[in-house]
Structure 1
Amino acid sequence: MTPLPSRWALLIAAALLTACATPRPTGAPPGAVSVSWSDPAQFAEARDNHRDTPAAREAWLSALARHLAERAAAVLPADEKLDVRITDVKRAGGFEPWRGPQADNLRVVRDIYPPRITLEFKQLAADGRVLKEGRRELRDAGFLMRPAMYPSDPLNHEKQLLDDWVRKEFSRSALQ
């Protein structure tokens, strides 16, 4: 016979798997949002962080782009499209070389190093006409004062910044 704690663990695991497998309703289909970026080697993050390889930059930038596409697709009406081009990123935190060689690869996250993302976007109707377009410089000086939405994610602060922008820019009240 299985001990009681194991049964509870199995029930919790089954509930989590069911919740993860259940599709969430979304607005626009995933292909309706395209996210591209300019040369990441020219981003503020690349200038300040010489430790990242080009492959590492592509990896975290791809993760941000996927996140943005998923979030935007969930709030866009099904017949609209969104094109986003990320033109600059400065991730939360910074490197403090004066702390010595043992801290050389350590990103220190403090309120003086807020996340920043600059992007250009164009929201298109089904017939191709432009509903909204512009350039936004996203900043969150109070990023450490908020609860972490993605606590184990190294891109936690940047993803929250994108979530805020999507919510503010594309909510129903913002479109009217």
Structure 2
Amino acid sequence: MDKRKWLLLGAMMASSLAWAGDVSVRWEKPDDYTDIRPTNESRDGFRDRVCKELGKVFEGYGKKLPDGVKLEITVLDLDLAGDVRPMMHGNNDIRIVKDIYWPRMTINYVLKDASGKVLSEATKEEIKDMNFLMASHIPTGNTSLFYEEKMLDDWFRNKQRSGVFPKLPS
């Protein structure tokens, strides 16, 4: 009985993997972004961590796209939630999070089908969440940047809801 359960589980996992698009992310000149400033990490280490964490968020959307669909994203600018301020005493700065310092990102994207035909594209699309402190959001634990993750999740969900990005077959 246990062997059949494992075989069934493996078959379900294999079938779920069959329906997946591909997402690639390119970070263009991250040193020039509006706000990718650390508080208690090195600048390079923080920048690399932010790009890695948000890159994983974008790449996760491939699981929500049909097989063969490719979404290519170029991040042009990033402004993290909050504002970094120097501390008067000590070496570490502090990030002040207030509703006037909302997260935002500027991207280019191209969405292609399996044959390479462009389904949708945008240049300098502004993604922002001006109500980031008002909405309820339970952190996923996938990233330490939960305001930015929620902003991107809302953007992707809205693209699928409006039909710009295709959904998985039901």
Of 54, 57, 66 in structure 2, the residue corresponding to residue 67 of structure 1 is 57
The TM-score with structure 1 as length reference comes to 0.74
* Match of residue 111 from structure 2: 123
CA-CA distance at 1:169 after TM superposition: 1.3
> How many percent of aligned residue pairs carry the same amino acid?
27
CA-CA distance at 1:151 after TM superposition: 6.7
* Match of residue 80 from structure 1: 69
RMSD: 2.7
Q: Comparing both structures, which one devotes a greater share of its residues to helix? A: 1
**Distance in 1 separating the partners of 2:43 and 2:127:** 25
The answer on 1:138 being equivalent to 2:123 is no
The answer on 1:162 being equivalent to 2:152 is yes
- Contact 1:80–1:124 (CA<8 Å) still a contact in 2? yes
**Distance in 2 separating the partners of 1:84 and 1:158:** 16
**Distance in 1 separating the partners of 2:63 and 2:47:** 26
One-letter amino acid matched to 2:56: R
Structure with larger Rg: 1
Write the deviation string for residues 63-119 of structure 1: whole angstroms up to 9, x where unpaired.
Answer: 10111110x21221112111011111111011234x633595111111011001111
Note closer, same or farther for the CA distance 1:175–1:159 as it changes in structure 2 (3 Å cut). Answer: closer
The TM-score with structure 2 as length reference comes to 0.76
Please give the secondary structure, in 2, of the residue aligned with 1:56. Answer: helix
Of 40, 43, 49 in structure 1, the residue corresponding to residue 33 of structure 2 is 43
- Contact 1:123–1:133 (CA<8 Å) still a contact in 2? yes
* Match of residue 8 from structure 2: none
